Amino acid sequence: MNNKIELGSFPEASELSKCKFMVKLEERWSRHNTLVCVGLDSDEEKIPRGESIERFNQQIVDKTHDLVCAYKPNTAFYEARGFAGWLTLEETINYIKENYPEIPVILDSKRADIGNTNLGYTRMAFDRMGADAITVNPYLGSTFFDGKEIKLEALQPFLEWKNKGIIVLAKTSNKSGGEIQDLPINLRQLTTYSDKFGRMDELREKIGSDIVPLWSIVAYRVAKYWNVNGNCGLVVGATYPEELGLARKIVGDKIPILVPGAGKKRGQGGDVEAAVKAGIDSRKQGIIINSSREIIFASSDPTDFAQAARKATQELKEEINQFRQ
């Protein structure tokens, strides 16, 4: 019996009905001509004195809604406040859904666990919070071969939400990410692996080498095997434009890439021009460039912080668009 997984086992995303998250995202990219995502990392210690986080978020959203392709609250800034923080997060997402329902909300929580636990995470993110997408960690995997067919496992509860975006960490923007993500893997030595998880000849062809970084295997498997419902995306940091370009080559046009770390003032130093040129797809879109602190804390003045956020968002949108040509 041939117990190897062959390429092309799952249908291409184009063969499937469109995920609602993807429809929203593509609408913002094309009709509103924007690749900007505003990260609502609303640190209580940094918001203007006298403002609640709820009201702070609402004013940021009201001033920037026509300039963005998505909003991305990071759950850490809300979880730190306990029950009150969770209520604030829920109220923020509800406010966006009620007032600007066409704008997708990405919950940045990097969840990962075994299937049963992930059921709880999906209910939190999608049923309770009403987010359109969530970031997840690939470390527990998702597919395996049982000798007869490919089966989904750990991340299955996320991937089965056909209308929600599942955005998988590949190459993160932080400096120490390469400690594990860049580990070199020799594809020709993965005989046992390929028997259980599938050959990666196509990945070898795309990279042009037998030696590949671990993160590229994640990107390849997400595009080739995990994207069963056409609802997967990747995270690749703006701080690594060369890797971002390689990720785009690996996944083609069908996978959106969330690009954190852009900005040299309060961001992580990612070069906007390099990130745009490396990450856009053949349609001159396909990326979600996130900026958090550079936008929402552009001013600490309680009288103009929302207007300052709008100005910073507009500037980033214009900077990105000049490099899309």
- Whole-number Å distance between alpha carbons of 83 and 157: 25
Q: Which two tokens stand for residue 285?
A: 């879109």
Tell me if 168 sits within 8 A of 138, measured CB to CB: yes
Which DSSP string do the residues of 295-309 spell out, in sequence order?
HHTS---TTTHHHHH
Angle (nearest 5°) at CA 249 between 247 and 254: 85
Q: How far apart are CA 20 and CA 18, in angstroms?
A: 6
Which residue type, as a one-letter code, is found at position 208? G
Residue corresponding to tokens 């970084």: 213
Tokens of 152: 């989904």
Which residues does residue 288 pair with via DSSP β-bridges, in sequence order? 258
Q: Does 110 participate in catalysis according to the annotation?
A: yes
Q: Tokens 């997400």 correspond to what residue?
A: 222
Secondary structure (3-state) at 83: helix
Cα 238 to chain centroid, rounded: 12
State the Cα–Cα distance between residues 281 and 156, nearest whole angstrom: 27
What's the rounded Cα separation, in Å, for the pair 121 and 215?
Answer: 24
Catalytic residue from among 20, 97, 110, 196: 110
Residue 193, judged by CB atoms within 10 A of its CB (0-12, 13-18, 19+), counts as middle
Decide if 279 contacts 253 (C-beta within 8 A).
no
Task: List residues bridging with 39 in a β-sheet.
Answer: 72
β-strand pairing of 143-145 with 150-152: antiparallel
Q: Which residues make beta-bridge pairs with 108?
A: 74
Q: Residues with catalytic annotation?
A: 110
